[in-house]
């Protein structure tokens, strides 16, 4: 019984470890559009180039581990699948992947650009960006 | 250095749209080695005549490096050139893509210049090994021995409910050569016009394509010799002369493709047909289906089944054995059945390793390369 308890505890610890980082999707505070999870995924995969309200949407991504979290949770793709996906579009001249920046750069870009959308670790969100969802 | 400047331009620009031309360079490479495990030869890409595997392990038949330069001139206008260097062409650089692209809006793009004719489901990025589940698309169904055209290509996209559609319309002149020093070189000049429709719904993508080729001229050394022989022989039926003279022929290509993705399991299939309503060549009907399984994020094994079900071109015998043999060779059909087993391992986010063993068999094989068994390994890189 004790062994079982220990195993459950161990598994729970492991899983909580995996699920620790939450990703916050952020936009400029003036962006009042209702942006669904499907919209976010479409914008970051280059399938949609504007917000639901019609203004143009410029996604930026992170160059750290939060990006893996975002890719698997929202885009449902592994790092290599995403690389493959973009290489198809890049080498056929159809689209280019979003620029990747650091978490601080993402925050400062998004607070001053109403067209941008990005994501950061939810622990790093600052007051001058708007969180449209945490995943 | 360019990267830093680019970054500075992006970060400094408020609003984002900057006036400066935005340059980018991206590349890919595939290093592929292989050999046949029987006494036959295998040509993995019909376009590259000298890219042939035999019994000695060789890296040259399929290995290639590509570099793409793009200049984003305005928001809507860009210029792109892609240089590819292949082992099969002694690493001489080629220019498969050199075009201007203009985006009318988010849903309509036109490209004009030197482009790859998009016959097949994987035409557009056939060279970008990293983006493919296999080392190369099953060659039996990628059978047209020419790739490039000078022309225009419109790509439009729209949605109906949950289904996204892409429609591609293209037209141009293919003035292309299958280079070969040792095998039969093919020189081709043809006007093509084609359309494809790609509806996709969540896990399912289909592709329907149709291309018509007219004013087709084709020259090969053996074809020229056969034409001369037929013309000199009094017993040749005039119909036969017209069907063999490859100076104004018509050809049609039609393809149906399918990709079904069930998260772990995926299926890819294509049925491609190349028909010659006016010429003597065989009607080629080629099929493959691949089933792959993502065992982990990194490891993806697959199996492929391939079938050639050609119909030989019609012949009226001339009574001269040498000429009749030539006609039979020209109109020969392939009825090969083949299977392959392989896998992909994602070593790093921009490096994939692959291996494939392919075995072919045929009841009445004319082409020796239709019955070869081949083992290949590859490293695919993006940079």
From the centroid of its chain, how far is CA B83?
17
pLDDT tens for B299-338 read 999 999 999 999 988 888 888 888 888 888 888 888 889 9
State residue B10's pLDDT score.
Answer: 41
Q: Select from B364, B279, B280, B284 the least CA-distant residue to B327.
A: B280
How many angstroms separate the first and last alpha carbons of chain A?
35
Which residues on chain A place their C-beta less than 8 Å from a C-beta of chain B? 47-50, 58, 78-80, 83-84, 87-88, 90-94, 96, 99, 101, 105, 109, 112-113, 115-116
Looking at beta carbons, which residues of chain B come within 8 Å of A84? Answer: 130-131
Euclidean distance between CA atoms B348 and B325, whole angstroms: 53
| Helix (H), strand (E) at residue B266 | strand B265-275
Per CB-CB distance under 8 Å, the chain A contacts of B164 are 47
Cβ atoms < 10 Å from Cβ of B246: 23
The chain-wide mean pLDDT, for chain B, equals 89
Looking at the partner chain, which of A80, A101, A115 has a beta carbon nearest the beta carbon of B346?
A: A80
Chain B nearest-CA distance from A93, in A, is 8
Question: Under an 8 A CB cutoff, do A112 and B14 touch?
Answer: yes
Name the DSSP class of B251.
E
- With CA atoms as reference, the chain A residue closest to B131 would be A84
Mean pLDDT, residues B336-360 taken together: 95
> Do residues B130 and B352 touch, judged by C-beta distance below 8 A?
yes
Q: How far apart are CA A30 and CA A111, in angstroms?
A: 9
CB–CB contact A105 B26 (8 Å)? no
pLDDT exceeds 70 at position B257 = yes
Determine the average pLDDT of the residues in B76-84: 95
Q: Are A60 and A67 in contact (CB under 8 A)?
A: no
Spatial distance between the Cα atoms of B319 and B327, rounded to a whole number of angstroms: 11
For residue A102, the model assigns a pLDDT of 93
Do the Cβ atoms of A87 and B16 come within 8 Å?
A: no
pLDDT at B367 over 70: no
Q: What is the pLDDT of residues A75-95, one digit of tens each?
A: 988 888 999 999 999 998 888
Residue B371: other Cβ atoms inside 10 A: 20
Mean pLDDT of B65-71: 96
Please tell me the predicted confidence (pLDDT) of residue B371: 80
- CA B370, distance to chain mean position in Å, is 18
B320, burial (CB in 10 Å: exposed 0-12, middle 13-18, buried 19+) = middle
CA-CA distance, B365 to B363, in Å (whole number)? Answer: 6
Distances (CA, A) of B143 to B20, B119, B120, B310, B357: 43, 10, 10, 12, 20
Given A47, A87, A101, which is nearest B28 (Cβ)? Answer: A87
Contact A88 B124 (CB under 8 A): yes
Domains of chain A (ranges; CATH) run 21-134 (3.40.190.10)
Interface test with A, best of B125, B164, B167, B296 (most A CBs within 10 A): B125
Predicted confidence at residue B362, as pLDDT, reads 80
Residues of B with CB below 8 A from A116's CB? Answer: 16
Instruction: Indicate the residue of B14, B24, B80 with minimum beta-carbon distance to A113.
Output: B14
Beta bridge partners of B273: B254, B285
CB B249 within 8 A of CB B349: no
- Contact list in A for residue B99 (CB cut-off 8 A) is 93
Specify the pLDDT at position A71.
93
pLDDT at res. A78: 87
Query: What residue of B is the nearest CA neighbor of A80?
Result: B349
Please give the structure tokens belonging to residue A9: 């505890």
Instruction: Please report, rounded to a whole number, the percentage of residues in chain B having pLDDT higher than 90.
Output: 60
pTM of the model: 0.86
Phi (first) and psi of residue B53, to 5 degrees? -90, 140
Q: B244 vs chain A: nearest CA distance in angstroms?
A: 37
What pLDDT is recorded for position B13?
A: 41
Residue of A60, A93, A95 to mutate, interface with B, max B Cβ within 10 Å:
A93
Tell me the chain B residues in contact with residue A113 when contact means C-beta distances shorter than 8 Å: 14-16
Whether B307 contacts B138, CB under 8 Å: no
Tell if the CB–CB gap between A83 and B382 is shorter than 8 Å: yes
Complex confidence, ipTM: 0.81
Contact: A116, B16; criterion CB under 8 Å: yes
Strands A99-101 vs A58-62: parallel, antiparallel or unpaired: parallel
Tell me which residues of chain A have a pLDDT lower than 70.
Answer: 1-20
Report the pLDDT value the prediction gives residue B40, as an integer from 0 to 100: 86
Query: What per-residue confidence (pLDDT) applies to B243?
Result: 86
Subunit contact A116:B298, Cβ cutoff 8 A? no
| Residue B382 pLDDT grade (very low, low, confident, very high; cuts 50, 70, 90) | very high
So what's the pLDDT on residue B238?
86
Per-residue model confidence as pLDDT tens digits over B211-252: 999 998 888 877 888 888 898 888 888 888 888 888 888 999
B360-379 mean pLDDT: 80
For B253-321, the DSSP string reads EEEEEEEEEETTEEEEEEEEEEE-SSSSSPBEEEEEEEEEE-SSSSEEEEEEEEEE--BPPP----S-H
pLDDT (0 to 100) of residue B46: 81
Asked if residue B123 lies in contact with residue B45, where contact means CB atoms within 8 angstroms, the answer is no
Alpha-carbon span B175 to B216, nearest angstrom? 10
Q: Which residue of A has its CA nearest to B23?
A: A96
**CA B271 to chain CA mean position, Å:** 14
What pLDDT score was predicted for residue B305?
A: 97
Supply the range of the domain harboring residue B336: 2-382
Report the CATH number that the domain containing residue B375 is assigned in CATH: 2.40.160.10
Q: What's the gap in Å between the CA of B346 and the closest CA on chain A? A: 7
Closest CA to B372 of B343, B344, B341, B336: B336
pLDDT for B240: 86
- Residue pLDDT, tens place only, B149-175: 999 999 999 999 889 999 999 999 998
Name the interface residues of B facing A (CB cutoff 8 Å): 7, 10-11, 14-16, 24, 26, 28, 66, 68, 70, 78, 80, 82, 97, 99, 101, 106, 109, 111, 124-125, 127-128, 130-131, 155, 164, 297-298, 346, 349-350, 352, 382
Question: What's the number of domains chain B is made of?
Answer: 1
């Amino acid at each position: 019984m004790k062994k079982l308890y220990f195993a459950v505890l161990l598994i729970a610890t492991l899983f909580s470890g995996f699920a620790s980082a939450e990703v916050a999707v952020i936009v400029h505070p003036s962006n009042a559009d209702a942006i669904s999870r499907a919209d976010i995924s479409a914008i970051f995969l280059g399938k949609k180039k504007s917000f639901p309200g019609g203004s143009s949407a410029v996604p930026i991504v992170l160059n750290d581990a939060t990006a893996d979290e975002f890719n698997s949770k929202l885009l449902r793709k592994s790092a290599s699948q995403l690389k493959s996906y973009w290489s198809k579009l890049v080498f056929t001249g159809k689209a280019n992947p979003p620029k990747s920046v650091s978490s601080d750069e993402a925050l400062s870009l998004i607070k001053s650009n109403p067209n941008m959308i990005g994501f950061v670790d939810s622990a790093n969100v600052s007051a001058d960006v708007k969180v449209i969802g945490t995943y | 250095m360019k990267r830093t400047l680019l970054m500075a331009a992006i970060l400094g620009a408020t609003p984002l749209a900057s006036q400066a031309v935005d340059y980018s360079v991206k590349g890919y490479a595939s290093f592929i080695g292989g050999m046949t495990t029987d006494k036959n030869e295998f040509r993995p890409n019909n376009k590259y005549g000298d890219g042939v595997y035999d019994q000695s392990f060789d890296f040259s038949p399929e290995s290639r490096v590509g570099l793409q330069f793009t200049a984003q001139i305005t928001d809507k206008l860009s210029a792109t050139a892609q240089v590819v260097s292949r082992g099969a062409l002694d690493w001489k650089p080629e220019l498969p893509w050199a075009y201007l692209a203009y985006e009318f809006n988010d849903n309509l793009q036109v490209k004009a210049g030197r482009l790859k004719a998009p016959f097949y489901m994987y035409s557009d990025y056939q060279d970008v090994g990293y983006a493919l589940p296999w080392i190369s698309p099953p060659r039996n169904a990628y059978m047209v021995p020419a790739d490039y055209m000078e022309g225009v290509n419109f790509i439009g996209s729209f949605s109906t409910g949950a289904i996204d559609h892409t429609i591609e319309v293209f037209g141009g002149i293919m003035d292309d050569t299958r280079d070969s020093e040792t095998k039969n070189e093919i020189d081709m000049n043809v006007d093509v016009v084609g359309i494809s429709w790609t509806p996709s719904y969540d896990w399912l993508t289909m592709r329907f394509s149709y291309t018509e080729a007219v004013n087709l001229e084709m020259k090969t050394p053996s074809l020229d010799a056969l034409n001369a022989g037929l013309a000199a022989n009094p017993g040749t039926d005039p119909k036969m002369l017209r069907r063999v003279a490859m100076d104004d022929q018509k050809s049609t290509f039609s393809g149906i493709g399918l990709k079904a993705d069930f998260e772990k399991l995926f299926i890819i299939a294509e049925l491609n047909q190349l028909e010659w309503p006016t010429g003597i060549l065989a009607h080629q009907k080629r099929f493959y289906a691949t089933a792959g399984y993502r065992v982990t994020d990194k490891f993806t094994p697959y199996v492929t089944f391939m079938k050639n079900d050609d119909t030989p071109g019609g012949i009226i015998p001339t009574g001269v054995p040498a000429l009749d043999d030539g006609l039979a060779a020209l109109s020969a059909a392939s009825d090969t059945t083949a299977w392959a087993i392989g896998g992909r391992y994602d070593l790093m986010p921009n490096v994939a390793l692959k291996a494939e063993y392919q075995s072919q068999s045929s009841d009445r094989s004319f082409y020796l390369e239709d019955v070869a068994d081949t083992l290949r390994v590859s490293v695919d890189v993006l940079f």
